[in-house]
Amino acid sequence: MYIIGNIVVGTHLPWNRNRIRQIGQEYMVHLRNTAPQELLSILQDFKIEDPEELMEISEEEFREEVSDLGYAFVEEVLLEEGAWEKNYHGGSDDPSAFVGVEIGSLDETDHIPADELIRQLTPTEQQTAEAREKYDALPENVRKILPPFGVYIVWSSS
């Protein structure tokens, strides 16, 4: 067995396909309200027929219509365009990413004394401020469904 991962201050994608889909869905709702032309372009890239029609329906209907696109949106837009920082990948096919600052890492060859691990788990004020700024820039409707701001070991094992 090995362990590999990032130690981050900020938040991370939950390793749950439905939650990742919901996060993508909420990002699209946010873009619909704040950057409709950008969302139209993304929907066209996803080969959606008549994306303009989606922009005219109620928000609830929109959520339902784009529900199946949420997971792809996270993988193909947020991760590929760098809105979220990619994390180490493990045995899971689900994307692994975070918003914040990496303050340390673990891999299978590390033998870390406990005091060093504790040091890595303690962000500086500057790291915390930078991570908070990135976290606060996330759409509010997305922040509500993410793990709260904090220090995480975002890891995978095999």
Q: Which token pair is 43?
A: 């929907």
DSSP states along 5-21: EEEEEEEE--S-HHHHH
Q: What angle do CA 147, 150, 156 make, to 5 degrees?
A: 65
CA–CA dist 26, 22 (Å, integer):
6
Q: What is the pLDDT of residues 3-15, one digit of tens each?
A: 577 889 999 988 7
105 C-beta neighbours (distance < 10 Å), count: 17
Q: What is the pLDDT of residues 103-151, one digit of tens each?
A: 987 776 667 788 887 887 899 999 999 999 999 999 999 999 999 999 9
Q: Which token pair is 127?
A: 């790291």
Nearest CA-CA partner of 157 in 115, 104, 94, 107: 107
Q: pTM of this prediction?
A: 0.84
